[in-house]
Amino acid sequence: MPQPHHKNLLTSVQMAHFVATGAFRMDAVVPDEMNQEAIDVLKAGIPGVPYGTPLSEAFQDSPFVQRLVQLPEIAGAIHSFVGPEPAVDHHAVHIRRANEGEAQNLHGDAIIDVRPDAFDVQLMYYPQEVTLEMGGTLSVPGSHLRRTNETDTGRYQNLLGQTRLTCPPGTVVFLHHGIWHGGRKNDSAIDRYMFKIRFNPTVRQVRLWNTEDLYDDQVAAALGQSFPWYENATGRLEIYNRVKLWQAITGDDTYDPDYWVTRVSNRPRRVVAQRSLNPHAAKKEMA
């Protein structure tokens, strides 16, 4: 698979936004002619790909998907998140039927994932305009670093700050594998189609994007944002976790603009010699 041009890689500010929110959205990034072709392709189904297949070797039987992931902006985003030649975890065509009357529970796409310094991403492609009535994907910004087990969050409804996707045709959204999300019910008269691929990194996820703005003030602003559903105490832990992730993917464990990590990892190494506090030992020293 050809390497993306430098200009198509994400910026540090965009990556910081992803680390903070768990999502990155690219509106109308897929050309209209591909969107018009997509519905028939998705109706016919996308041939299976064995788990762990390198992206350059995957989708040999689906020229449409090969063209999709090789679009310059999409290829640049994939490289920025998971690097060159990621592996395909799985893919699926999701269809929400017209007036289907059923919604998906809020969930994460994995059992508890304890990796503090790596992540998978899911590409979600929407070939049609998605209106509110069509039941676009609901997600909870900033939920991706809270460790839960797949459907543990299914009992939660209507969290403050949740988003329900509406978008123009050809929109692609990249999600951190841990974000809480779920498809909403389709109350429209039109079937809604979405195609997703989950990618696993095969290289260390360190400075894979355009780092020219690595220390821009907007990076710190993005990493420090809060969300309405956060609790006062645990919400601070979310910010701590994202700073730790940012340190890992930048390779800079000193970056900590608001000292969230510094305060709880401070272990000075300098030792100051002192006289013994034992009064009997002190007398011997003075003799």
**Dihedrals φ, ψ of 142, to 5°?**
80, 10
**CATH value at residue 24:** 2.60.120.620
Decide: 39 and 192 in contact? Cβ < 8 Å. no
- 148 contacts 109 by C-beta, under 8 angstroms: no
Cα gap 287→280, rounded to integer Å = 11
Q: What is the pLDDT of residue 286?
A: 54
In the block, tokens 């907007």 appear at 218
Ramachandran quadrant class, 63 (left: phi over 0; alpha: psi -120 to 50; beta: rest): alpha
Structural domain of 185 = 1-287
The candidate with the shortest Cα–Cα distance to 184, out of 137, 152, 151, 141, is 137
pLDDT tens, position by position, 240-275: 999 999 999 999 999 999 888 998 888 888 888 766
Q: What is the pLDDT of residues 187-234, one digit of tens each?
A: 999 999 999 999 999 999 999 999 999 999 999 999 999 999 999 888
Per the structure, how many domains does the chain have? 1
Q: What is the C-alpha to C-alpha distance for residues 126 and 174, in angstroms, rounded to an integer?
A: 12
Three-class DSSP category at 235: helix
Buried b (16+ CB within 10 A) or exposed e, 219-246: bbebbeeebebbeeeeeeebbbbbbbbb
CB atoms within 10 A of CB 211: 13
pLDDT at residue 147, rounded to an integer: 84
Report residue 247 CA to chain centroid gap.
16
Going from the first residue of the chain to its last (287 residues), give the mean pLDDT of each consecutive group of 10, the final group possibly shorter. 78 98 98 97 96 96 97 97 97 93 83 85 97 92 88 85 95 96 91 97 97 96 94 90 96 92 89 69 56
Q: How far is CA 62 from the centre of its chain?
A: 26
